[in-house]
Amino acid sequence: MAEKDSTPWRGPRRIVNLYETPYEAYDLEGEVQDSVHLLNISYDRDRATGWYVIRMEPGTASIPHEHGKHEEYLIIEGELIESDGTVLKKGDFVSYPPGSYHNSRTDTGCLLIGHDRDPYSN
C-alpha cells in the first residue's frame, strides 16, 4: 500500500477560498448590481460557462432573466426566495434548464455557488 505522501504533485492548481478571496461587482445580467458580489472561480464570460460564487446582501433582488444555458447552484448560507415564492435554504441545490425565466431575492442575505454549462455537456 502506498504512503499518503508518496505521489508527487504534477500540473497546475488554483485554490480559491470563498470566505477570504475578494469579490468583484456582479454584472452577469448586463448591469452592475451594487448589492450583489461575484467571485469568479472558473467562469468564462465569452462562453457563459463555468463556476462562480455569488454573495447577495440582505434585501437584494436579482434582475429578471432568462437562462440561455443550464444553470445549477447550491445555497451555502442564508435564504433565496424565487419569483414563484419558493424559499431555497442552506443546503438546497437547484437546477434550471435553458429557457427558465425568473428572478430571486433575499431578505437574510445569501451565499451560493453556481455553475453554468451548455445543456448537452456533462
Domains and CATH numbers, the chain: 24-117 (2.60.120.10)
CB-CB contact of 60 with 35 (8 Å)? yes
- Segment 26-63, tens digit of pLDDT: 887 778 888 999 999 998 888 888 999 999 999 999 88
CA 106 to chain CA centroid, nearest Å: 15
- Segment 72-118, tens digit of pLDDT: 999 999 999 999 999 999 999 999 988 889 899 999 999 999 998 88
* Distance separating alpha carbons of residues 57 and 96, to the nearest angstrom: 23
Number of H helices, E strands in the chain: 0, 11
Q: What is the DSSP letter of 91?
A: T
Global pTM?
0.84
Q: Grid coordinates in use for 9?
A: 504533485
4 vs 34: which has the higher pLDDT? 34
Q: Grid coordinates in use for 81?
A: 426566495
Give the bridge partners for 38, in sequence order.
24, 54
